[in-house]
Every structure is written in structure tokens, then in C-alpha cells.
Structure 1
């Protein structure tokens, strides 16, 4: 089947209990959980400022698009000048 079958995992857990004891394993589990929780918290804190920095960028983009809409093509401008003379 695979490298680790269920009876292999049970044997590893029993050996770990004998070596470290149930108290030490509980402490390690708590530290691991705390580390994961702190990591997730730091990731969420990093996302919030990044989202706040990108929100005001929508206004300059809108201004650029409006400016692009008002741009007259050079060929059209030359045609209008030629027709007016």
C-alpha cells in the first residue's frame, strides 16, 4: 500500500509516548497550535494594510480613463483644421 500504514502510525505514536511522555507531547502540540495561530494572525494583519493601500488607487485610474476618452486622434484633429481653412 503506502509507506505508512495504520499499524505503523500506531507504533510511532507508542514510541513517541515512551520517549517523551504524555505531558511533553501535549506541550509540543500546544506550542505547534500556538505557532500556527500566530502565523495565521500575522498573515491576516499583512493582508489588511495591503488592501487599504490598493483601495485609493481606483480614483487615479478613473481619472486616467476619463483623460484618455477626451484625447483627440491626431489624424482627426488635422482633418478638422484642414476643413476649417
Structure 2
């Protein structure tokens, strides 16, 4: 009691095939796989953008210099 027999699984499979059709299930799985790939690509693109923003610009090194506080002091 509580576990499904082989006949239960065959009936469930038949209903799923009737609802979605034979060609629809692989198409759905392909769409799911594409979505996962795009999600992973988006995550790596965000990581690369964050690393690029954290790095100083090699073309404009003056942008990454700190202010010399002693130059501002007057006596």
C-alpha cells in the first residue's frame, strides 16, 4: 500500500503523452535546457562586469589615484 505499481505508471505515461503529444515533450525539454544555458551565461556576464568595474582603467591611470592630503594642508 502506498507505492505505485507498473500499471499506475503506464496509465500516467499514457495520459501525459495524450496531453502533450510525442513531439511536444522533447521540445519542452529543449526549451528548458536553453533557459538554463541562458541563465548561466547571464550569471557569468554579471560576474565579469563586476570584475571589470572593480579593476582600475589602464588607459586613464589618473582616475585610480588617491588624493594626496598633504598637498591640501596650508600653514
| TM-score of the two chains, using structure 1 as the length reference | 0.49
1:24 maps to which residue? 24
Distance 1:25 1:54, change over 3 A: same
CA RMSD of aligned residues (A): 3.3
1:1-85 equivalences in 2 (<5 Å):
7=4, 10=9, 14=13, 15-56=15-56
Segments of structure 1 that go 5 or more residues without pairing to the other structure are: 68-85
- Tell me the secondary structure at the aligned position of residue 22 of structure 1: coil
Separation (CA, whole Å) in 1 of partners of 2:39 and 2:31: 12
Segments of structure 2 that go 5 or more residues without pairing to the other structure are: 57-63, 70-75
Runs of 4+ residues over 3 Å off in structure 1 = 5-8, 10-13
Give the helix-richer structure, 1 or 2: 1
Query: Cα distance, 1:12 vs. partner?
Result: 8.1
Number of equivalenced pairs: 58
